């Protein structure tokens, strides 16, 4: 398993997952039952949404629509932030609450 140096940030119904991806690494494909934002804080990345790829240069904000499978691949070292609405505040449980089952 690759260490993405994940940090968890919680505040009043908002959860932000912060990941540092080195060039060539990726965050695995998954989907959610609701829209959310991905923020590319720094660097360059390919964002794949339901098989369609687009290159982004940070800083930028990307809307990830509900049900769309997405994957983030770092073209350079990047800082990536996933912003979700949830009341879950346990880092060990939050992915199980947020990630859509196939």
CATH of the domain at 75: 2.60.120.10
Classify residue 2: in a domain, yes or no.
no
Instruction: Assess if residue 84 is contained within a domain.
Output: yes
This prediction has a pTM of 0.89
Distance of alpha carbon 71 from alpha carbon 28, whole angstroms = 5
Distance CA 56, CA 70 (A): 14
Position 17 in a domain: yes
**Separation between Cα atoms, residue 77 and residue 26, nearest integer Å:** 11
Confidence of residue 62 (pLDDT cuts 50, 70, 90): very high
Q: What is the pLDDT of residue 2?
A: 67
Question: By residue range, what is the domain housing residue 23?
Answer: 7-98
Quote the number of domains for the chain. Answer: 1
CB contact set of 1 (below 8 Å; sequence gap of 6+): none
Question: Listing from the earlier edge strand, what are the strands of the sheet with 60-64?
Answer: 7-11, 14-21, 78-85, 36-42, 60-64
Tell me what the mean pLDDT of segment 5-12 comes to.
Answer: 94
Tell me, yes or no, whether 35 lies in a domain: yes
- Model confidence at 5, pLDDT cuts 50, 70, 90, reads confident
pLDDT surpasses 60 at 1: no
Residue 1 maps to a domain: no
Q: Among all chains, which residue has been given the structure tokens 């060039």?
A: 23
């Amino acid at each position: 398993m690759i260490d993405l140096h994940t940090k968890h940030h919680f505040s009043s119904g908002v959860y932000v997952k912060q990941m540092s991806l080195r060039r060539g690494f990726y965050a695995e494909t998954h989907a959610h039952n609701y829209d959310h934002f991905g923020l590319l804080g720094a660097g360059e990345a390919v964002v794949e949404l339901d098989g369609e790829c687009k290159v982004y240069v940070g800083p930028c904000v990307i809307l990830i629509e509900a049900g769309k499978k997405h994957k983030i691949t770092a073209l350079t070292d990047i800082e990536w932030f996933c912003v979700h609405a949830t009341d879950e505040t346990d880092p060990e449980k939050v992915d199980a609450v947020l990630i859509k089952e196939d």
